[in-house]
Structure 1
Amino acid sequence: MFATVVWGTGNVGRAAIRAVEAHPLLNLSAVLVHDPRKVGRDAAQLAGMEGELGVAASDDIEAVLAARPRAVVYAASGDLRPDDALVDITRALRAGAVVVTPALYPLYDQRSAPPEFRDPVLAAIADGGGSLFVSGVDPGWGNDVLPLLMSGLGSTIDAIRCQEIFDYSTYEQETAVRDLIGMGHPMEYEPLMLAPTIPTMVWGGQLRLMARALGVELDDIRETMDRRALDTTVTTRLMGVFKSGTQGAVRFEVQGIVDGEPRIVIEHITRIHPSAAPDWPSPPDGSGAHRVIIEGRPRIEVTVEAADEGDNRSAGGNATAVGRLVNAIDWLVDAEPGLYDALDVPLRPAVGRLGRKHS
């Protein structure tokens, strides 16, 4: 079994602990945390699992990496600390680990990544012999392997549209919802995630990845943005009150332009309450879904709903994204050391897990 570290225990890290524990070829060897209040707590408790796993959380990065784990699931956020995340990841690579993570947006399409991200990773791989695979939590598979798989079912394609449609009141990360995305802030507030060029920085790599797989060149990447205010004050279970007149819904597109037309599009439609922007598309269950639409002949539409941690659709999206990463570890261990993307790493079947009990 491959000794595997989960680094970070937020929304992604909780799902990663559960995924590693369920994988028959992986052994959860350590959990790294930043919050001193989590140090010493059992991994099962941090992941919302029953019983104990016998792995106590640690903040001693040097000691954990000195044990030479075979794999690291880097689940710490890179949204506001990309440079720190890059340093952490290169430390794990120099320790010889296979690293999987959603934290470094520029490496979704590693071939087009800027040198300041790509070069340190390649140097660390050369020094330590590790490997790196980066895929998103929005989720990555919904913006690369799923639409590309679906494209192979048709005869002609006019456009590919990947949608995330969510009620963010179920998302247990208040700082991201309020400050990064702007929910509950006055309409004149400019959230970092919605500022011009930022959506392209985050999702542009996935557009370039799909274009490369489809054998087309992108003329340009464009952004559209629409924000709506709440008509009434609403109260959410996880994050409290969002006042009338503040931002309550966001709809944006990151468009890959081919021959002057938006042919590959990643679209996000997010609300803080179902009453916000009722004329926009809604998920079938009112909570959340991911959808891919292939316009062409035939027209193909697939909607994916996933739930985890009870019936939480946001947690389900995180869990499937984590599953894509964790299930790639055994393939990466067998592959040559290197920097990989979603076109390199195949989807892995859940060998040995059919019918297995979970907690």
Structure 2
Amino acid sequence: MIPTIVWGTGNVGRAAIRAVAAHPALELAGVLVNNPEKVGRDAGLLAGLDEELGVAASDDIAAALAARPGAVVYAASGEIRPDDALADIVRAIRAGAVVVSPALYALYDPRNAPAEMRDPVLAAIAEGGGSLFVSGVDPGWGNDVLPLLISGVAGTIDVVRCQEIFDYCTYDQPDSVRYLVGMGQPMDYQPPMLLPSVPSMVWGGQIRLMARALGVELDEIRETVDRRALDATVQTVQMGEFAAGTQGAVRFEVQGIVEGEPRIVIEHVTRIHASCAPDWPMPPDGDGAHRVIIEGRPRIAISIEADDEGGNRAAGGNATAVGRLVNAIDWLVEAEPGLYDALDVPLRAADGKLGRKTA
């Protein structure tokens, strides 16, 4: 069994605790939290399980890493604290752990990551013998290995398009929804996530990964952004009121340009209410879905709908992304220390999981 620590207990961390506890090759060895109110609470209860797992949450990072865990699932946010997230991850790698995380966008494609992000990781790997694999929560597999797998059954390919289409009213992260993405803000508010170059910083690595796997050279990566206001005030169960005239929907694309045309596209269509931007793509059931569309001959379209935490579609998307990371741990432990990407780490069958309970 590989002793594994889950660092963080938010949207990603809850799913990570459940995934580690259910994995036949992993042992949940610790849970690290920042909130003092969570210290001492059982991991199972923090993860929303109906049972205790016998692991109490701690805020003692030094002690947790001194125990030399085999792996760390770094589930703390890196959106607004990338430097802190990098420092935490480097610390865990230096302690000899295999680290998996969605937190460092630039390392989705480590070959093209900035030196100030890549070099500390490589130095920690050389010093401690750990490894790092970063994949996204949008989910990463939906923007790299899944479209590439589907491309293998295509005849001709004109465009590879990956879509996330979601209603954010059930997303349990109000600060990100309201301020990072800008839902409910005046239309002259500039959401940080939609600033020029930010979408490319977040999703450009996955565009480059797909281009590399498909054997094409990118001319450049472009962005398009569109925003819509709410026609009427709406009330949401999770996050309260969103006023008429404020931002109610966002649509953006990160486009990989090949010979002057957008050929590899990651598109997000996000709403706070289904009434906003009804002419934009809608999920099959009005809640949320991930899609991969291969435009060509034949045209291939696959829609993925995942539910978790009582039917929450956003939580389901997080859970599948976490599953990709957690299920890679045993492979990474057996591999040489290194900095890995989604093309390096195989997506394997869930050996030993069929019929297995959480603990």
Matched, 1:216 2:216: yes
Q: How does 1:158-307 map to 2 (within 5 A)?
A: 158-307=158-307
State the one-letter code of the partner of 1:321. Answer: A
Q: Shift of the alpha carbon at 1:348?
A: 2.2
> What SS class does the counterpart of residue 213 from structure 2 fall into?
helix
> What SS class does the counterpart of residue 55 from structure 1 fall into?
coil
Distance 2:73 2:330 in 1: 12
Partner of 1:86: 86
**Deviations, residues 6-46 of structure 1 (Å, cap 9, x unaligned):** 00000000000000000000000000000111111000111
**Deviations, residues 181-234 of structure 1 (Å, cap 9, x unaligned):** 000000000000011110000000000010011111110111101100000000
Structure 1 segments unaligned to the other structure (5+ residues): none
State the one-letter code of the partner of 2:352. Answer: G
Distance 1:41 1:311 in 2: 25
State the one-letter code of the partner of 1:101. Answer: S
Distance 2:255 2:84 in 1: 29
Distance 2:74 2:239 in 1: 26
Distance 1:70 1:7 in 2: 13
State the one-letter code of the partner of 1:272. Answer: I
Matched, 1:7 2:3: no
> What SS class does the counterpart of residue 58 from structure 2 fall into?
coil
Partner of 1:346: 346
Partner of 1:105: 105
Distance 1:236 1:191 in 2: 20
Distance 1:97 1:277 in 2: 45
Partner of 1:130: 130
Q: Shift of the alpha carbon at 1:353?
A: 1.3
Matched, 1:324 2:324: yes
Q: Shift of the alpha carbon at 1:51?
A: 1.6
Contact 2:169–2:273, Cα closer than 8 Å, also in 1 = yes
Q: Shift of the alpha carbon at 1:259?
A: 0.1
Distance 1:171 1:182 in 2: 14
Q: How many residues align?
A: 359
Distance 2:42 2:155 in 1: 52
Q: Shift of the alpha carbon at 1:325?
A: 0.1
Aligned CA-pair RMSD: 0.7
State the one-letter code of the partner of 2:295. Answer: E
State the one-letter code of the partner of 2:338. Answer: G
> What SS class does the counterpart of residue 265 from structure 1 fall into?
strand
Q: Shift of the alpha carbon at 1:357?
A: 3.0
Contact 2:224–2:252, Cα closer than 8 Å, also in 1 = yes
Matched, 1:312 2:284: no
Q: How does 1:16-165 map to 2 (within 5 A)?
A: 16-165=16-165
State the one-letter code of the partner of 2:333. Answer: V
State the one-letter code of the partner of 2:14. Answer: R
**Deviations, residues 32-82 of structure 1 (Å, cap 9, x unaligned):** 000111111000111000121111100000000000000000000000011
The list of structure 1 runs, each at least 4 consecutive aligned residues, that deviate by more than 3 angstroms after superposition, is: none
State the one-letter code of the partner of 1:65. Answer: L
Distance 1:57 1:236 in 2: 31
Q: Shift of the alpha carbon at 1:358?
A: 4.2
Distance 1:356 1:93 in 2: 30
Contact 2:145–2:343, Cα closer than 8 Å, also in 1 = yes
**Deviations, residues 241-294 of structure 1 (Å, cap 9, x unaligned):** 000000000000000000000000000000000111111111011100000000
Q: Shift of the alpha carbon at 1:350?
A: 1.3
Distance 1:58 1:358 in 2: 21
Q: Shift of the alpha carbon at 1:352?
A: 1.2
Distance 2:187 2:354 in 1: 48
State the one-letter code of the partner of 2:246. Answer: T
Contact 2:39–2:58, Cα closer than 8 Å, also in 1 = yes
State the one-letter code of the partner of 2:257. Answer: I
